[in-house]
Structure 1
Amino acid sequence: MESPNAPDTPANLAPQLTPRGRLLATKQDDAPPLAPEVSQALGPAFALGSGHGLLLLGTAHIGRILPPAWAWWRDVAARYVTALCATPDGGEIAVDLPAAEDFEALIADAPPMTGAEYLTPELLTALWHELDAALRQELAAAQVPLQAFLKSRHPAWNLVGRVHFNLAENRKDAEAPFAFLATYTARLSAHGKAQHQPLSQALAEFSGGKSRAQLLSLLLPVQRAAQHCDWLREMVEVGDIYHPLRWTALDACRFLTDLPQLEAAGISVRTPGVWKAGRPPRPVVKASVGTRPPSLLGQDALLDFSMQVCLDGEDLSDAEVEALLQSGDGLQFIRGRWVEVDQKAIGRLLERFKAIEAVAENGLPFAEAMRLLAGASLAESGEPLDADWSELAAGPWLADTLAGLRKPEGLAQVDPGPELQATLRPYQQAGVRWLYLLTRLGLGACLADDMGLGKTIQVLSLLLVLKRENAGPHQPSLLVAPASLLANWAAEAERFAPGLRLLVAHPSAMPPADFKALDATRLADADLVITSYGSLLRQPVLANHDWRLAVIDEAQAIKNPGAKQTRQVKKLQAQSRIALTGTPVENRLSDLWSIFDFTHPGLLGSDKVFGKFTKRLAKAEHFGPLRALVQPYILRRLKTDKRVISDLPDKTELKAWCHLSPTQAALYQRAVQDLADALEDAEGIGRKGVVLSFLMRFKQICNHPSQWLGDGAWKAGDSGKFARLRELVEVIAAKQEKVLVFTQFRETTEPLAAFLGSIFGREGLVLHGGTPVAKRRELVRRFQEDEQTPFFVLSLKAGGAGLNLTAASHVIHFDRWWNPAVENQATDRAFRIGQQRNVLVHKFICRGTVEDRIDQLIESKQQLVKDVLEGGAELLLTEMSDRELLDLVKLDIHAAQEN
């Protein structure tokens, strides 16, 4: 990958947050372009460290139009710099850390970006400290005062004065119920508190010739503000700025109107302490949605809607509202307090809410209610609600429901019963409760847990819960997955939920004639029907059946809305739809739309409407509405979350079933026949040689036809293992995790590395028997320390022992050694002392081939077989009879090929 600090730094840099909490500026081909001078500055700055990059972003690029992700990080950095500006000249730098809830509010509004799932208040706290350290380091190197340093970055940070405008209530004066006083910060007290003096005191304190420059600097913010505020300019010209003043309500209202200009000029504004956020209370048009449960659940639910005008939580009468609208704009004295009124704003909101109330006389459609609550209007003309004058809240029933979806660990327990042959971990129990709540509501769900956290067992548990509860007519559920995963699902169901009646509707699991003859009666006999995306296209009865649940695994398979496969999946009829994925869908808007178009049709509108909606969000640099809209229906837990990883086993082994391509199947069939012919004439030691050479040939064909043919082509589409590798690695790459790939064949290492590099978009490392010993230590160091090195391809003999590669959290055995001890030794390059992450081990096995049957031998509990295999499976195989050997290597074409 191109280094971010290279002289020709690319213009399409994007922020990338790594699992370790580093913020990088990396090249991404689809990233919105930056101005060349911006990318040329950001690349080297972030190469120095996250703090240096953020400091440059927050000080030097104020006012620039940046892509949403960069603009969001600039806002984070600018908050630090804003707090820094309160440091008195010559004073010690001490920047207060924002509260956790402030960071949480920032995170809630974060735009899509690589690594967004790692955003936490703790991570932002760490980056805040890195910012602070970078500032101190750069300030020391610059050897200039803080204000001069900030001014060198951008003039807006040159706040040389600390002037305060103070507004107070004076209820004893009916004609002038407010008082105004301008003050300045003279110095800090011994306790570090700012000491305020009337601005008039500055005239006396800075009366000397040399001090006159200080006075001019102190008054500079006032002069700036006076250019935009006529009333302030008049006060400065006549000298009233230096004296306490009696103000009318009209004067105070004018002051409040110009607060943005005053603060932008560098003036600090102080208002009565009883006013929240520095402003008087405002009447709010308040609406409530979902006070009580709807009569009908699901996407067609209609929610109740009501509205009223409130002041500090108290409802105003119709007469009081009418009086408000008739009394004019500005400050009004109502119910013993000063209230700010904007007739037009209140009137527009009343009109809008009354229109909604009229349409929702029989109830507000669920999707519209959710969009309204999230502030996510999909209509091009739909303006967001004015948050200063309105409040839209979920009623008691809907609020409780959404709270349960957002924090499922607090939901009531649901019990799969003894039919579940496993013990769920706490986070898995919470996941089942979350899925159960959504299915009970007739809504969809996107379970996006990290790979290895047990999405399968959570879905099986849900099916057992629904089966126990079912009081009406039996209704089966459907699961659609890539063909390579069907065997995994069937095995997991038989292992953990043997009580579920299972039907694998796929030619690899039943005779083709039976598959073609599938009908509704056969489907109704099952609790769970499992099929592939391809079979869904070829068997109409699957798409036309009414299902209890429709579950899709590896939901990124439907990310292309125009694909025939995607359209067929979205035709499925079910009470609830569930999408399973291990990738962070919230970071790719197109994937997010397509998945939600399946789970919650209509919630995000059409793809064109959604595209225009997200463009408006990007233009406003405000993605909070979209996140608020989808967040209740996405459940994502990370392996890096200590609350999860502390409850996980250290190592999870998974079998990755692979199919043969047509080319592989043809070569394999021919090899079986060639072996049968060779065995007729083979005897003694020669027979052992024949058997061993053919076993090697079968392994090579299962890996890739080019490995056996030696043609050097290595086309990805010619190998089922390469297809399975792509599926796995795309998820690993999206999570920015690292992977070790082991193969026993040196000639396979380079083609694997080239293929992996095309997926990650970056080069990885290769180690085999030909790698010089002196170079191996450097390769290990680079893999361990460089976060941008994503994979390491190793030959099993050269890399299976002695190396410490704990940076990887995934281990893939591309081909099997057929010796568990050797494989475990290789796996332990990642799973060893110092490993902080859960390690997932993926063992590739081609269905219906000798690899499949050898795996069954390894799994068998016969001590004799185990003893022999520990010494090498080949020794056992050479002693088999011709008939046994041919039965072992024969090809089950239906199981081996993807359909």
Structure 2
Amino acid sequence: KGKCVKYGEDRFQVEIGYNAELIAVFKKIPSKSYDPAMKKWNFSLEDYSGFMEAANQLSSVILAPLEGENAVCLASGSHFVGSRVDVKSLLKMCQNWKKPSALVKGKCVLISRLRFEVDIGYSAEVIGVFKQMESRNYDMNTRKWNFLLLDYPKLMEALQSLVSVEVEPLPKAVIQTFAAQIQRSTSQTDIPDADLSAVDSKIVMSLMPFQREGVNFAILRNGRLLLADDMGLGKTIQAICIAAYYRKEWPLLVVTPSSVRFTWAEAFHRWLPSLSPGSTNVIVTGKDNLTASLINIVSFDLLSKMDKQLKSTFQVVIIDESHFLKNIKTARCRAAMPLLKAARRVILLSGTPAMSRPAELYTQIAAVQPAFFPQFHSFGLRYCDARKMPWGWDYSGSSNLTELKILLEESIMIRRLKSDVLSQLPAKQRKMVVVAPEGISAKTKAVLAAEAKKMAKGYESKQQEKEALLLFYSRTAEAKIHSVVEYILELLESGNDKFLVFAHHKIVLDAIVAELEKRHVEYIRIDGSTPSAERQSLCQKFQFSEKQVVAVLSLTAANMGLTLSAADLVVFAELFWNPGVLIQAEDRAHRIGQTSSVNVHYLVAKGTADDYLWPVIQEKIKVLGEAGLSETNFSKTAESTNYHPKPDPKQKTIYDLFQRTFSESRDDTDEVLLLEAADACSEFDSGSALQDTGGETCSVSPPKKRRIE
């Protein structure tokens, strides 16, 4: 960035940092002169317009024009020339832009913080308009024209005057957020340091530089943001610091997954020593008082049961793992949204902001910035590739992801990946371990093959499909037990002192624990039945023990909120269809405090449900990576992941079945019930089940519904 300034009577000087492309432009100008004392170039005013035109062609350079000179030569009569651009008139353009009779249709899309492109079919008159723009640039790769946001008002005005051309403008939210760039004042890139003198010095001194930036960002945005840092980068400490800045507005409400409620209470006292001992109130039952203390910590599910108490509003609210609010239809989301709309400060924390698709980001954006997209439908059309189907609209796709990412990062979201900030943290190294098929008995193989054959034929109802898949999944768990236990014993023998083992089915967890007890190996076990209050002490035991310890963990109960960085090896005994859950589980070890490289081993058994789950997981991770929402690309970082099932049409059917059943957006409670069903399936006597290939012994509706907290 630089500017032109007057230099004597008839010359001007360019004040700018070094840029090779720009120097090349300087050298072509006849009146050039270099002042070695000032280290700046100056030119005759006669060359000014030619120079500005050449400089504006360079995408890496932004030059402020000479004051008093009208740098823009445009058709007279445009009400955008020379005057400051009126944002209201730009927002008006967002309304009636459709021209049903238009022959050429296109749209404007943001491609960086300063430039936008026009995606449109060929038309000579459109190209004519493009060529009048000083900042025009034609991208040979995408075959599209792009321009500086400065040129947006006059370009849109010119295009809207063409009768046969329809161009969809940038969304309102983009125009409001980037008004400064459109109005040719340079945008602010450095976030000013917030005054944290009123906050406990202990927490302020403990912030790493990037965490301090996160706090500054939040305060600049008036305490409303989505803090989407990667897992293990200390979102909790940043959130506590931001909340402490607004301490005068407390009582504070913290909504978290139930397993980490006590961890939060501990963190508040640790980082804010000035708090009196009784100032945190962890809600344990629906009868507790939600406003009893200065800091009130409640789980998502209890929040939805306590709506009677929600009459009193909180001014400051922290939502941990805010992707839990992705589905507007769930009770937890309906309970939380009014609270967030009423609060002055909303701090959302999520390491995986869109678990699989942009539609799931909508509620989080609406919670922080309700004015951005008042209607979900307009958001869906722009970013979810919304399509009209016979049964209604389908919002499960994704479109214009780059624009969405730039918009969020400029307005409400701050997201740093581990690779950006933790130079001391080595990357994870994944490998896929294909476990020995010898471990699976011939009988079990026959059962799995029969199951697969049945599935390939297809089912009448979705319910039957799901039940069959879950049965297949739990049969896979049984089939793998032998090989999994063997693998763990090998690891122990080869001198691995501390590692994490994740599994999903109770029978797998039980089998691992039984074997460890038999060998007198110390272990900790955290699954759905471990009380929240005990989890922290189990983690401490694992972290600080000198001896050999194995952490045996449930994939769905222990995949978030726990720090087990004393381990640098994570073993997945079973796969899971949601990659977000797997990555969160890996990150129990891959956190701040981890000094060595974390190895992740996925145990995959051929001839089982893993054949279909592994490709499904890889596919989903790829989609997340394209949106910039996951730095983790399984295929690139895993050894030997070129493991794909044989392209056999029968297998293709089952793969599609998995893909379809577990990619549909559905209520979270469904997922919990599915998991319970899977557990119920896995608790039957494996002997009897294997004799009965029909699978009637497994009742898929669990005998009694476990209380979901």
TM-score by length of 1: 0.34
The structure, 1 or 2, with the larger RCO (C-alpha pairs under 8 Å, 6+ apart) is: 2
Structure 1 or 2: more helix by fraction: 1
TM-score by length of 2: 0.41
